[in-house]
Chain A
Amino acid sequence: MSDVILEARNIVKHYPVTRGLLQRTVGWVRAVDGVSFTVEDGKTLSLVGESGAGKTTIAKQILLLERLTSGNIFFQGKDIYKYSASELKKNYRPNIQTVQQNPWSSMNPRMRVRDVVGEPIFVNTKLPKNEVYQDVGKLLEQVGIGAEGMSRYPHEFSGGQRQRIAVARAMALHPELLVLDEPVSALDVSIRAQIMNLLKDLQTQYNLSYLVIAHNLATVRYMSHSIAIMYLGQLVEYGESEVLFKNPLHPYTRALISASQLTLPEDAKDSSKQIILSGEMPSPLNPPSGCRFHTRCTEVMDICSKEIPEMKTIGTQQVKCHHYK
């Protein structure tokens, strides 16, 4: 059992919905509704779910771009809301870096690559310019861009190259944890594997921990140690990657796995095994009663719309479903 680097305990994010002249609050969007997970040192946890499940909100909460409505986030055992402003800047922020989904909007178009990648170092240290640029050169070499790209502008690079630059920037301060928000979903399929290999190599080399946000199970299977499946702001299943793929417990997980296998035509032949969910995810403004998945579940029972299921531990997996006692 390795050490826990980041723990989310029952985190919640509710956005108020206001209406009218006086901006009265008429309801709450429950974007994240009581989610708990841990990221272990040097390991990868993936949060998987449809769009609107609250994955990105969780990423933003960890990166302190959004405040928690309630719950706690612990970094190396310490509640991050108990850090002072200077401790945050010195101990937390440099250790939690991020790679965003869209490599076209995540870089200031008016900055050269050396300033994009060097910015974390400029902000957090007092190193002179030429030393920072030396570091930047090394970082760029490491991600396969080469130091000669330093004085160019981001728009001169392709999507895959830009994502490599984004990884170099995230690595600039030698962080402990990277939050990877859909790191490959904006890229061409042919380039995805390269970026994922790069991330895997960096993980083994620096003992990095990853929190990966994704909507496609197939892409994260390759690099995750454990996976948490999210639906409508809550976790529905949580377990080690291989166990979860071999023996998915929750009907939603099964549907997701079935959907991800459809990418290979030979798997799609056996259509009897396909699970195709109907409809859209319900609104987080007014989530369904009981189990939140019951409106689309293929194995729905009477109890599902009446009682909220508890998180139950089955072997090494955790699942939130009435099918398991």
Chain B
Amino acid sequence: MFGIGKKKAYTGLSRGTRIVRSLTLIIPSIVMVIMIIIALFANLGWIGLPDVGLAPHDPNSTNPRDKLLPPSFIEGGKSDYFLGTDRLGRDIFSRVLYGARVSLSVSLIVILITAVIGTILGILSGYKGGRTDAFIMRVTDVALSFPALLLAMLLWVAIGPGYWTVVLALSILGWAGYARMIRGESLRIRESDFVAQAQVVGASTWRIMFRHIFPNIVNSLIVIMTLQVGMMILAEAALSFLGLGITAPTPSWGSIVADGRSQLDRAWWISAFPGICIGLVVMAGNFLGDWIRDKLDPRLRQL
């Protein structure tokens, strides 16, 4: 059917399309790797090395004489402050590097916690069915409809602001999306012949849930987890921006943006650079998530 000279008929994609496709994988990967390196090596003190790192300044040291300096590549900027300084004379570049730490680690921890809770409840709900299912799904509905901001404010009042308050606020409601999706997948797999086979053999509920159902939903789980990276960074930034997140002076991207809000007309660079970082990471996360979904989608894999 296909002649030797018709190789294109196999791939179905032109050279240009393929280049664009691979760029949508390569560029986001590079962005992600850079961000992770930044977060890890902003300062090496935390792994027992001397107190040096990528960040040229202590992110919290103030310097009144150098306040509101523009970035070094703009007229009036000092070469010492690559991305300029804020109204207290703190180095924006160092603050953005340190901020990556908070933003990325919050999103990572929250994703792990919510994925574990959501997966367990989702499988339980889908496999057990009946009252267990009804109960878990009603709780899920509540979690999905509860305003996240309100909860964050309640926690802020109840246990005070801080890193773990943000993690808690995002985790308490975040599992519900996973639970719902995993439940649907579990319902589908519960009806499959190999689960019936396991029941005939006398396998325990636990075994069926984790040896039979879980390995078959792990693809979908990875896909939502990657897509959640962007969501969680945005959520953390939003909370910090509103002052419900990380306490000053610790920098997080959201709180630096909030810091610069009042000086936007005079010193746009304070808010702009952390904002760009948020945008880049969220976009990279979404591109990677899409790519992984395409790769792992079982319908595509079977072809």
Chain A residues close to B by CB (< 8 Å): 63-65, 88-89, 93-94, 96-98, 100, 102, 105-111, 119-120, 123-124, 169, 173
Contacts and interface: CB of A to CB of B under 8 A. Distances in A.
Q: Which 5 A-B pairs have the closest CB atoms?
A: A110-B215, A93-B202, A106-B193, A105-B193, A120-B201
Contacts of A100: 193, 196-197
A66 to B, nearest CB: 10
Nearest to A101: B193
Interface string B207-222: 1000110011000000
B194 interface: yes
Question: Dominant SS at the B interface?
Answer: helix
A7 B201 CA distance: 21
Contacts, number: 57
B203 interface: yes
A93 B192 CA distance: 19
A120 B194 CA distance: 12
A100 B193 CA distance: 8
B201 A109 contact: no
A108 B216 CA distance: 8
B197 A111 contact: no
A109 B204 contact: no
B159 interface: no
Contacts of B201: 93-94, 97, 119-120, 123-124, 173
Contacts of B199: 63-65
Contacts of B216: 108-110
20 contacts: A64-B199, A64-B200, A65-B196, A65-B199, A89-B202, A97-B201, A98-B197, A102-B193, A105-B192, A105-B194, A107-B194, A108-B194, A109-B216, A110-B216, A111-B215, A120-B202, A123-B202, A123-B203, A124-B202, A173-B201
Most buried by B among A63, A64, A108: A108
B202 A108 contact: no
B113 interface: no
Contacts of A109: 216
Most buried by B among A102, A110, A169: A110
A109 B207 CA distance: 16
B203 A119 contact: yes
